[in-house]
A and B are shown apart, each in its own frame.
Chain A
């Protein structure tokens, strides 16, 4: 069983919702990432989403764009991101790891070689923002060969036909984008998310995570009331930006935010 599936089953048994923090690998500098990932787990993360820096992050708002730029100033490559996962796995064999990014670094590496290297490093899922199901068959097949889940997005614009299409090819969990817009915008409307998720559950038995626009403990708890997982990104990355000159303070600051959200979600 994949680590992602196993983790969601454990959580379901405990009647708990998953908390999935996102950070961009190598932001603000490469040596911060692995210790930070461990702190996020200690603070209550159930799964981890690691952003692969890309020069042209079209679906991201200014906060994550800036994170990509900070990482790319250190020339953080996809190979190095997998090295970070390998290092993380030396002391954490259980927390599922999802790589999130854009297709081109994987294209250039080659699907088969990347999938094999990702599996060796200990990656459990790959979410490629600019790869809808129509273009996903080849990469999904390679990832599937190594039991890596291909995570797909659904959005407020997705109609029933697309819910069906995405549900057919997705594995691990579904990632529902809470609003029309880019990451970090302030447009979350939990009621409409809840309605859409109800519709979506008619098409899939997979757990559903919700991301985009979740900025504090209150919104995290409220999203957790309708979703199986809460993904938080820009709010954490924004704190990294504030502390970029004092990187040793980053793990504690992010842990505090994650712990707050954790308690709010568990109390709800």
Chain B
């Protein structure tokens, strides 16, 4: 794997020396070391301040938290099970592999944990209209779902290319009453959908709440989305203690923007004996340049409101990404992951399209669980890790979503029309 180039910003030192967990991150302006922050046009600064104030207030508000907990239990279906994949573990012949079953959540992925939280916040803030960007469509569906439930207007921006790849999710969103806007600029994928959602927000900022689906964007989004997703890691801690009597040796999750990974990792950040592995979309292979792995093969820069690792050229233009998985097809990554990489607290690797496909088939056939192509990347890496570990070791994989939405993609690869 390529190492990332050395980097400093004038007046700031590279954050490698500072111990992880030394203080709560991000700082009050949203910085994780040199990463994160708030890089947006002035028009959006006051609404971001307003959002941050509301978020800080309701984070500590018992009524808000009680309502959130009730929604997570009765609407989302939490806690999601932690499942021991016994046959898969035996087949691999190494560490015991457990799956955190976020695929069993309402709407089929972890994305709903965050949209339920942000929709409650939108309601408290008196916003009547929700906008969202989506890549694989899971966040779009999760946003359309909470909007339907709360009687809010919902507009979802989605790249034209992703609309083609994820037709079922597009139709689900429309059934839920959302307007899906096809974004035809740039690479016609998630990054362009995000640009367009930002343009909508700056135009309709008075009545609109922008639900960002991942741990990226301007402060407070990376911290807020992390906090809403951290329920994954909190449950996992309790469940693995019940099932195995100890903490796991390693956690593995796929990383597009990085919300399911941070959600799993965050409650374990200070448990330094628990290894954290993030898995990026390796596309056709890192060497080919056709991938979606900014942490493995990108460099720091500023995009979509935060400083983080990006896929960019030597002139700072954002370059197109390639991944079989629409949910990983993004040139940036959440700033907290950039920080975790630089501090060495988490390791990041890339898994190719082919490896992910193999893992998809393996889990489907061996455990009767059809994973999303995003989650298949995490599985593929976990299987590699497990094979090199003793059988008394424990790996938890975040099975962040179910694979139903990908059936057409898988079929097409095998030359089958469904």
Contacts and interface: CB of A to CB of B under 8 A. Distances in A.
Contacts of B305: 130
B199 A111 contact: no
Contacts, number: 135
A55 to B, nearest CB: 4
A138 B34 CA distance: 12
Contacts of B203: 180-182, 185
Interface string B83-101: 0000000000000000000
B314 A108 contact: yes
A138 B191 CA distance: 27
Query: DSSP majority for the B interface?
Result: mixed
A109 B316 contact: yes
Interface stretch (B8-16, B70-78, B147-155, B362-370): B8-16
Nearest to A166: B42
Contacts of A162: 42, 45-46
B186 A56 contact: yes
Contacts of B205: 157, 180
B304 A58 contact: yes
Interface residues of A, number: 50
A158 B45 CA distance: 8
Interface string A70-114: 001000011100000000000000000000001111111101100
Nearest to A101: B316
B41 interface: yes
B316 A56 contact: no
Interface residues of B, number: 44
A78 B317 CA distance: 10
A167 to B, nearest CB: 12
Interface string A123-150: 0000001111011011101100000000
A131 B42 CA distance: 8
Contact of B9 (A57, A65, A138, A154): A138
B64 interface: no
Nearest to A61: B199
A156 interface: yes
B407 interface: no
B29 A134 contact: yes
B301 A104 contact: yes
Contact of A157 (B9, B43, B318): B43
B202 A59 contact: yes
Nearest to B219: A134
A138 B10 contact: yes
Contact of A141 (B11, B44, B315): B11
B336 interface: no
B312 A108 contact: yes
A155 interface: yes
Contacts of B45: 132, 134, 157-158, 162
Nearest to A153: B42
Given A56-B195, A157-B43, A182 B202 contact: yes
A135 B38 contact: yes
B318 A130 contact: no
B42 A132 contact: yes
Given A107-B301, A180-B202, A180-B206, 10 more contacts: A55-B317, A55-B319, A56-B192, A102-B302, A105-B317, A107-B302, A135-B37, A156-B43, A157-B205, A182-B203
Interface of B: 9-12, 29, 37-47, 185-186, 191-192, 195, 198-199, 202-206, 299-305, 307, 310, 312, 314-319
10 contacts: A62-B185, A69-B186, A77-B315, A103-B39, A111-B10, A132-B40, A134-B45, A138-B9, A139-B10, A180-B43
